[in-house]
Chain A
Amino acid sequence: MQRLKFIDRMSQGKLSRRDMLTKASAFGVGMLTLPSLPKAADVLTCLEWAGYDDPSYFKSFSDRNGTPNFSIFTGEEDALAKVLAGFSADVMHPCNYSVNRFVNAKVAAEIDVTKLSNWKDVFPALQTADGVVMDGKVVMAPTDWGNASIAYRPDLVDEDFKKNESWGIFYDDKYAGKVAMLDSELCITFGLMLDGMSYKEAAWATGDKLKAAADKWGRKCTANSRFLWTDPTEVNQALASGEIVAAYAWNDTVKNLTDQGIPVAYARPKEGFFTWYCGLTLLNSGKADKALAYDFIDAWLSPETGKTLIEGSGLGHSNTKSFELADKQAVAKMGFTDPIQHMKDGTLFIQVSDQVQTEYNKVWGDTKALMQ
């Protein structure tokens, strides 16, 4: 009966008319607030990691030119997919291991470093690093860098490991379910290094050698990992709770945990620790004035930006002067005091050919897929 009354009321239009009006007005408001389609080409468009769109990273640019437009990505693959599909952006933020894909896909343009006032202060090692320079051309202006090593809880691992820090911890059954590796084919590369190969040799491994390594090391590292991490938040949380005792990590993890009063150490594995670097690349699909793009890159290279990066997130910056400007304690929290020496001690990640990288990705993908 109740329902009949209800329907009756509806059919007299008492409720539905008001309902319809509300809907109509909501729709109208929605239409009005949706941004208009065309974007003026005099605004710079950047393909950027989420979070790196923070204005403090390019303050001098904004002071002169206003805020650029950002399109957010979370992995270089999807940014590349977007660009290849025809999305036009002026500047993109790849890393050492991914910039060659943009260059080989012919979407990146050469950078004229004479147009960058801060270029002279960039770490010399980074100025000529693999991926910054390709075929004698500068294709990426390095901006942020960091290390890749093992962050561990000194209160929860064995003394043996502390005396003898090694990437082997990810393959040690004693730590099964207590470690977390990055979701990366490095799982296989590090294994090959434990077999005595040099990093360079391991990174270029192909064919049966690679397959055998995936079976021997890749599966072990995957099985022993509590999870293969894809975002630093996961690692931070798990290290903090003691769910895992060691993880592949960047400097920011060490800084974050230290800031929160959690005991954490950053290893110097005997096989070596790594340095990754990311930077800005000019895209040739860009529609804005090139001068704007250069100004944006130059702002990113400034020591002020470096200070923000170091103090705010515990990541390194390509400008040597940044480390003079930044708080000394903040630098120490990254795990070193002398940035120049530190850069020399670490191993820079290298780029391999597209073919080798694709094979590596495939073998790694298959390894994960066939886990029991």
Chain B
Amino acid sequence: MASMMRHTEKSTWMSGYALLTPAFLVMAVMMVAPLLALLALSFWTQSGFEIDRTPTLANYWTIIEPSDEPFFWMGIPFPFKYPPPAVLMLKSIVVSLVATVLVILLAYPMAYFLAFRVKRNKTLWLVLLTIPFWTSYLLRVFSWKIVLGYNGAINSALKTLGLIDQPLEFLLYNPAAVAITLAHAWIAFTVLPIYVSLEKIDPSLLEAATDLGDTKWRRFLRVTLPLSAPGTIGAAMLVFIPTVGDYVTPMLVGGPGGTMIGNLIQELFLRQNNAPLGAAVAIIMMFIIGALVAFFFWVIGFRKLRSRVS
């Protein structure tokens, strides 16, 4: 009996891996190979147009080499000889966290509305959500410039209403504009996964909660929110992780102080002709994001455990 059990288990593994094969193949060619190349590159050094292939940790040391005099950025001390990677890493994480929180707060109610209030034409609604994103990213960024710009929609409206004489200049070309533009750019990516996870909540669970005398709000906190948590967290990760490394948006709406970690990596790879250092910065960035995400999941898992115990 036991051996038979093991046998079926093994065959499910086999079929499971078989199903994963196409994904593995794509990943191997498009990810593993480039990542290995990246890793190797980060241990080499650039000299002129040649790459010196003697393995060394010099690039990593450049990034973390301490200095006696800390560099102050926004009042925060950065005790590094070459502070740009550290400074930009922090800045990028903050901006992208703000954008992520903004996106989730904006998207969740909309997903809730779609899942529970929209009774018919759901597909139509879903597609309506994505239509604005078919116009090309650059044009959408441009349209944000028109909205926030000097003689843009907001300023013109305020002027017509007589609320201001001079256009407001703080609307564009700063980190806030980056966060708003990013939030807008990624919103469909959050509404859809959250909607999917809300959609599959069994209505009988909600009915049961109501029967047990829960108020609407309590029912939401006890049933809906926890059950939609996986989708919501997934959605948050889908926004947070790629926005940290984005470099096009900050370039377009961030103004002179809009440089992010992605811009640094891009510059190191192209303009500054130091791909090995760029590779090292990219790898460290991956580790930091990975650690943050792991930490995030750990906190959530921990809470869940505690609430189950109590």
Contacts and interface: CB of A to CB of B under 8 A. Distances in A.
A223 interface: yes
Contacts of B269: 81
Contact of A366 (B84, B255, B256): B84
Contacts of A77: 270-271
Identify whether the interface residues of A are mostly helix, strand, loop, or mixed: helix
A370 B73 contact: yes
B197 interface: no
Contacts of B71: 370
B125 to A, nearest CB: 15
Contact of A372 (B74, B151, B273): B74
Contact of B150 (A241, A354, A372): A241
Given A369-B87, A369-B264, A358 B273 contact: yes
Interface string A315-339: 0000000000000000000000000
Contact of A242 (B48, B87, B151, B268): B151
Contacts of A227: 173, 255-256
A225 interface: yes
A105 B49 contact: yes
B259 interface: yes
Contact of A365 (B74, B87, B145, B264): B264
A355 B145 CA distance: 38
Contact of A369 (B84, B149, B270, B271): B84
B12 interface: no
A370 B173 contact: no
A258 interface: no
Given A241-B150, A241-B151, A370-B71, A361 B256 contact: no
B20 to A, nearest CB: 22
B251 interface: yes
Interface string B258-290: 010001100111111110000000000000000
Interface string A238-277: 1001110000000000000000000000000000000000
A19 B82 CA distance: 56
A84 B46 CA distance: 14
A interface bracket (residues with beta carbon within 8 Å of B) = 20 to 34
Contacts, number: 79
Contacts of B84: 365-366, 369-370
Contact of B149 (A81, A105, A241): A241
Interface in A304-362: 354-355, 358, 361-362
Given A177-B169, A241-B151, A242-B150, A228 B272 contact: no
A272 B5 CA distance: 85
A362 B268 CA distance: 8
Contacts of B264: 365, 369
A226 B173 CA distance: 7
Contacts of A370: 71, 73, 83-84, 87
Contact of A243 (B150, B251, B274): B150
A358 B272 contact: yes
A285 to B, nearest CB: 15
Contacts of B270: 75, 77-78, 81
Nearest to B50: A105
A365 B151 CA distance: 31
A368 interface: yes
A326 B126 CA distance: 54
A45 interface: no
B49 A238 contact: no
B88 interface: yes
B256 A223 contact: yes
A98 B40 CA distance: 28
A97 B227 CA distance: 58
19 contacts: A104-B48, A177-B169, A223-B256, A226-B255, A241-B150, A241-B151, A354-B273, A358-B272, A362-B274, A365-B271, A365-B272, A366-B82, A368-B259, A369-B84, A369-B87, A369-B88, A370-B83, A371-B259, A372-B257
User: Which are the 5 A-B pairs with shortest beta-carbon distances?
Assistant: A243-B150, A77-B270, A369-B84, A371-B257, A241-B151
Interface of B: 48-49, 71, 73-74, 82-84, 87-88, 145, 149-151, 167, 169, 173, 251, 255-257, 259, 263-264, 267-274
